[in-house]
Amino acid sequence: MIIIPAVDILGSKCVRLTMGDYDIKKEYNLSPSEAAVNWQELGAKRLHLVDLDGAKSGNPDNFDIIRDILKSVKIPVEVGGGIRDNKTIESYFDTGASYVVLGSILFKDIGSVSSSLLKYKGKIIAGIDLYDEKIAISGWKEFVEIPFAEAVENLKGNYGVETFIFTDIKKDGMLSGVNLNLISRLAKLNISLIASGGVSALDDIVKLKELNLPNLKGVIVGKALYDGRLDLKKANALLL
């Protein structure tokens, strides 16, 4: 398991939202590019970039900023937020993204991106956001009436998706601790799993490590890192 720092971009600024609410945001004094380089210098093995403007509009609104970040770091980067067509997927890979995270489009019109799922097999990550274990899409404004286990089975079996980021919406940005029970259940789905939501301090990393889940490949951390509650170097040392 690795720690994956998040760089969330809104209005060209580096921000953190609370439970995905655009009205409850905290802006940071460093730019998205500065944040990305900072986490790399502190030992991050991978970055999670999110275009929050794009997540709302469905367009790659912060493409130029993300392109500049991809040029400025040497570690793998996964990019998500409003990526809903083959052209945008290809553009991000062409500009240096290691992985592209797809969310809403997988449930609204997966056929429109099925060619990319095949072309970039192993590099497309499914981002599944859960609220009370229901799949939320479109900026967490709509719900999908499919159990998450069934959704995983479909995406893996029929479209070859291998890696899944599961975000616990109620935990996101709350610094309230990770949902160990949910993560343990998700790990039983026989997928490569990246957890997101709730990390508040080093103790959460210890608890995740103690689960001893071989397919828990990473945990995305945002506010805890930016607010100084979690030391990335110490967390990385713990996971060696």
CATH of the domain at 84: 3.20.20.70
Question: Is residue 140 over pLDDT 80?
Answer: no
Containing H/E element for 196? strand 192-196
Return mean pLDDT, the chain: 95
Which stretches of 40-115 are assigned E, i.e. beta strand?
47-51, 77-80, 99-102
- C-alpha–C-alpha distance, residues 192 and 218, integer Å: 9
pLDDT confidence band for 19 (50 / 70 / 90): confident
For 24, the domain range is 2-238
Integer Cα distance of 158 and 84 in angstroms: 19
Is the pLDDT score of 122 beyond 90?
Answer: yes
Contacts of 194 (CB under 8 A, 6+ apart): 4, 125, 163, 164, 165, 166, 216, 217, 218, 219, 220
CA dihedral 144, 184, 3, 170 (to 10 degrees): 40
pLDDT tops 80 at residue 118? yes
Q: Per the structure, how many domains does the chain have?
A: 1
Which whole number is the average pLDDT over 110-130? 97
What confidence score (pLDDT) does residue 224 get?
95
pLDDT at residue 142, rounded to an integer: 87
pTM of structure? 0.96
pLDDT of residue 22: 83
pLDDT at 24: 86
As annotated, the active-site residues are 8, 129
pLDDT digits (tens, 9 = 90+) for 184-204: 999 999 999 999 999 999 999
Q: Give the per-residue pLDDT at 174.
A: 79
